[in-house]
Amino acid sequence: MRTIIIYDMHPEEIQIFSLPEHEDAEWVVKCHGMYLNSSEMDPDVEEACNRLSDALSPKLEYCSDPEDPLAAKWAQYQVDGAFVVDEPVRVIHTGFLL
């Protein structure tokens, strides 16, 4: 299943990523509805949010864990503008407060 990530960098911008099915994104579900820097969260959820932030990062030097195999790997899936998906999707809305 394709995963659509709506990554809200509140209040400045929203980025959208469309991860293809071959990317293992099951763990990303923990991030849904969670915002880094907004409130306390369970350690496993915070770890997932930090990992997702790193995976979506455009550069390794911005990552909190540049040794993670996913660090800066999913930036390539950022979508600019409208797009059509003709398959089932999972939508994750997450991000961080600036």
pLDDT at 59: 96
Segment 21-40 shows an average pLDDT of: 89
What is the predicted pLDDT for the residue at 22?
Answer: 87
Whether 6 contacts 68, CB under 8 Å: no
- Tell me: the pLDDT tens digits for 87-96? 999 999 999 9
* pTM, rounded to two decimals: 0.92
Give the DSSP letter string of 17-85.
EEE-TTS--GGGGGGTT-EETTS---HHHHHHHHHHHHHH-SSGGG-S-TTSTTTTTSGGGEE-S----
What are 58-73's pLDDT values in tens digits?
Answer: 999 999 999 999 999 9
Mean pLDDT of 27-48: 91
